[in-house]
């Protein structure tokens, strides 16, 4: 599988005015949903069992035969007894194992399969990283002189290279509670002509369980009337149940569908039909593209924001301009900060700063460049964080266990409920995703978790479903959001702390280049459409073209620690 290139869309904001209309009558249409897989073979298909194959060869052949694009996996069923064929379901999800799995015949006559369990993909295509060992015993019997499997596990058991070859990584987009951005829910779908329909089906079915409490879905309760069609660079989607939706819901619906289908090859436009008739939305063309919904861009970055860092207890800017206000003065005592931006101008607007002065840890808040007021005296605080969709709400962790929400207008901090955090250990870092729907948390200075921010009107804000996303990494010390669905982390490498990149679900763990760094990095910063920053040997470095460079090209490194980007 080749991960699709990140869709970086820079477009003008679209202002929708007037009313919207949808057809009020519904023609009779036969529903002909497209299967999740093509009915015919596509690409490389597995081989049938060879005559005289050994039990181990049969088991390996069965695992290889999972890598098929044909419905019901007919070749895989050839490796089973008739009874096992009748009982086996190939639709119970996928277990992805390492390519170097082993098969051994046991004294009991079974074939034992052992492997690294990369992770599991559920029926909706959502991946969960495992990091555990896989083990299963296959029982075989002779059928007409040939060995056949009697007890195949339900679902597909697939080697990682085959999974990568057959499945595309796609995002199904829902929307954050403020309705400012679409939020990616990563899925893995088999390549082929059925993929457009599969993507819309996933939208209609709703978000994955881990994300469900943190997002909204304007397509909930709707139906797809017929197969999604692709003609050239136009995708046509025919929905039913839309007539009762008002303008705001229709706008969100369109944004979700268009951003989701924009990932198809060639980034096609989308035509939305309602019961067979064109959906009419004032100010939006019949053939929609992400430019029409750029206000929902999941990778939007503040236009006027530049990176910041700390030096000599003061706040500094990566562009060399002085930081206004008392926080920019040497000796201010800052050891952590976060800055939010004005959504209208993109310029820094408010901030919180964690300080240590005279042995006293204080959390200060106020306007960027202005006087800051004390909002909390604490024992220990993590580096604060803020999300672009909640530009007046800053998060930090106090004493490793209590998550606090702080506003820039000096109100008393509010607790965030995190039921499972205490069981994991002591939190040493927390960073909110750009859309504010997820939070990445480093626990015990060792392991990385991602949870979902749930906001109910009658309950405290909660960080739920904390789940490990990088179990193979140890010594995790810092984390940042490079995109709405991708993280950068610092973790133990062969020679000490090193940067890594991985998806929000744990897929695609890759080492990041360290060329140019003067030593081991100690903190990392990232943001959509920004070049990552690290501190190393007490200086600030920027990643450019696979090499870390000084902030002023060709000049001496700039002293600093704890880089971050405004949101």
- Helix ranges (DSSP H) in 239-387: 247-261
pLDDT at residue 17 in the model: 33
Q: From the CB of residue 133, how many other CB atoms can be counted at a distance below 10 Å?
A: 11
Alpha-carbon torsion, ordered 4, 173, 433, 319, to 10 deg: 60
Q: Give dist(CA 376, CA 358) in Å, integer.
A: 15
Q: Give dist(CA 86, CA 66) in Å, integer.
A: 17
Q: Give dist(CA 116, CA 131) in Å, integer.
A: 7
Q: Give dist(CA 507, CA 164) in Å, integer.
A: 11
Q: How remote is the C-alpha of 52 from its chain's centroid?
A: 46
| C-beta separation of 96 from 118 below 8 A | yes
CA angle (87 as vertex; 81, 90 as ends), nearest 5: 100
| C-beta separation of 274 from 239 below 8 A | yes
Strands 360-367 and 547-550: unpaired
Structure tokens at 349: 């607007």
End-to-end distance of the chain based on CA atoms, in angstroms?
32
Q: Which residues pair with 405 in a beta bridge?
A: 395, 414
Q: What is the DSSP secondary-structure string of 224-266?
A: E-B--EEETTEEEEEEES-TT--HHHHHHHHHHHHHHHTTSTT
| C-alpha separations of 513 from 164, 289, 501, 541 in Å | 23, 35, 10, 13
Q: Give dist(CA 448, CA 462) in Å, integer.
A: 18
Phi, psi of 233 (to 5 degrees): -105, 30
Which residue is it, tokens 């000490």?
Answer: 496
| C-beta separation of 403 from 415 below 8 A | yes
**Tens-digit pLDDT string for the chain (567 aa):** 433 333 333 232 233 333 333 333 333 333 333 334 544 444 578 999 999 999 999 999 999 999 999 999 999 999 999 999 999 999 999 999 999 999 999 999 999 999 999 999 999 999 999 989 999 999 999 999 999 999 999 999 999 999 999 999 999 999 999 999 999 999 999 988 999 999 999 999 999 999 999 999 999 999 999 999 999 999 999 999 998 788 889 999 999 999 999 999 999 999 999 999 999 999 999 999 999 999 999 999 998 889 999 999 999 999 999 999 999 999 999 999 999 999 999 999 999 999 999 999 999 999 999 999 999 999 999 999 999 999 999 999 999 999 999 998 878 899 999 999 988 999 999 999 999 999 999 999 899 999 999 999 888 899 999 999 999 999 999 999 999 999 999 999 877 899 999 999 999 999 999 999 999 999 999 999 999 999 999 999 999 999 999 999 989 999 999 999 999
Give all domains of the chain, ordered by start, each with its CATH number. Answer: 55-166 (3.10.450), 173-296 (no CATH), 308-564 (2.120.10.30)
Kindly report the pTM of this predicted structure.
Answer: 0.89
| C-alpha separations of 181 from 173, 187, 411, 433, 439 in Å | 9, 19, 27, 12, 16
Q: Which residues pair with 287 in a beta bridge?
A: 271
SS3 543: strand
Strands 334-341 and 447-454: unpaired
Structure tokens at 72: 């019901």
Whose CA is closest to 385, among 323, 327, 453, 321? 453
Long-range interactions of 407-411: CB distance < 8 A, separation 24+: 407/365, 408/340, 408/350, 408/351, 408/352, 408/365, 408/366, 408/367, 409/365, 410/365, 410/366, 410/373, 410/375, 411/375
Alpha-carbon torsion, ordered 343, 344, 349, 350, to 10 deg: -30
């Amino acid at each position: 599988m080749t991960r699709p290139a990140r869709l970086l869309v820079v477009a003008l904001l679209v202002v929708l005015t007037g009313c919207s209309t949808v057809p009020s009558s519904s023609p009779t249409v036969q529903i002909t949903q497209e299967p999740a897989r093509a009915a015919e073979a596509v690409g490389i298909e597995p081989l049938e069992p060879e005559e005289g194959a050994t039990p181990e060869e049969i088991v390996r052949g069965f695992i290889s035969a999972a890598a098929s694009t044909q419905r019901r996996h007919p070749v895989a069923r050839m490796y089973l007894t008739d009874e096992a064929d009748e009982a086996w379901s190939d639709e119970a999800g996928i277990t992805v194992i390492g390519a170097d799995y082993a098969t051994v015949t046991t004294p009991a006559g079974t074939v034992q399969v052992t492997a690294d369990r990369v992770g599991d993909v559920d029926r909706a295509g959502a991946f969960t990283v495992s990091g555990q060992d896989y083990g299963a015993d296959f029982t075989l019997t002779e059928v007409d002189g040939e060995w056949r499997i009697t007890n195949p596990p339900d679902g597909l058991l697939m080697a990682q290279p085959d999974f990568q070859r057959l499945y595309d990584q796609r995002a199904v987009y829902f929307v954050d509670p403020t309705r400012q951005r679409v939020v990616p829910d990563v899925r893995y779908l088999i390549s082929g002509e059925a993929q457009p329909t599969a993507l819309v089906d996933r939208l209609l079915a709703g978000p994955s369980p881990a994300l469900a409490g943190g997002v909204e879905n304007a397509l909930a309760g709707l139906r797809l009337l017929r197969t999604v069609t692709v003609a050239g660079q136009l995708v046509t989607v025919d929905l039913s149940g839309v007539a009762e939706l008002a303008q705001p819901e229709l706008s969100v619906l369109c944004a979700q569908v268009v951003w989701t289908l924009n990932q198809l090859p060639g980034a096609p436009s989308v035509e939305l039909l309602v019961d067979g008739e064109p959906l009419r939305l004032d100010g939006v063309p019949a053939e929609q593209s992400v430019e029409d919904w750029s206000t929902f861009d999941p990778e939007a970055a503040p236009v006027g924001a530049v990176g910041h860092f700390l030096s000599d207890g003061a706040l500094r800017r990566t562009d060399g301009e002085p930081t206004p206000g008392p926080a920019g003065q040497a000796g201010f005592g800052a050891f952590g900060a976060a800055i939010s931006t004005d959504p209208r101008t993109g310029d820094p607007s408010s901030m919180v700063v964690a300080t240590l002065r005279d042995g006293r840890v204080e959390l200060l808040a106020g306007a960027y460049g202005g006087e800051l007021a004390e909002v909390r005296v604490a024992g220990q605080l993590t580096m604060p964080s803020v999300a672009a969709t909640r530009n007046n709400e800053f998060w930090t962790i106090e004493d490793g266990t209590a998550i606090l929400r702080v506003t820039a207008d000096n109100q008393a901090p509010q607790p965030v409920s995190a039921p499972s955090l205490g069981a994991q250990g002591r939190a040493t870092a927390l960073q909110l995703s750009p859309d504010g729907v997820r939070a990445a948390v480093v626990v015990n200075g060792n392991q990385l978790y991602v949870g979902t921010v749930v906001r109910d009107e009658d309950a405290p804000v909660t960080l739920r479903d904390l789940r490990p996303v990088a179990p193979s990494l140890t010594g995790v010390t810092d984390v940042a959001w490079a995109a709405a669905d991708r993280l950068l982390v610092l973790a133990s490498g062969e020679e000490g702390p090193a940067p890594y990149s991985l998806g929000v679900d744990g897929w695609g763990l890759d080492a990041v280049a360290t060329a140019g760094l003067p030593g081991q990095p100690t903190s990392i910063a990232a943001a959509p459409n920004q070049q990552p920053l690290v501190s190393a040997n007490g200086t600030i470095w920027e990643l450019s073209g696979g090499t870390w460079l000084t902030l002023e090209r060709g000049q001496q490194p700039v002293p600093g620690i704890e880089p971050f980007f405004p949101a």
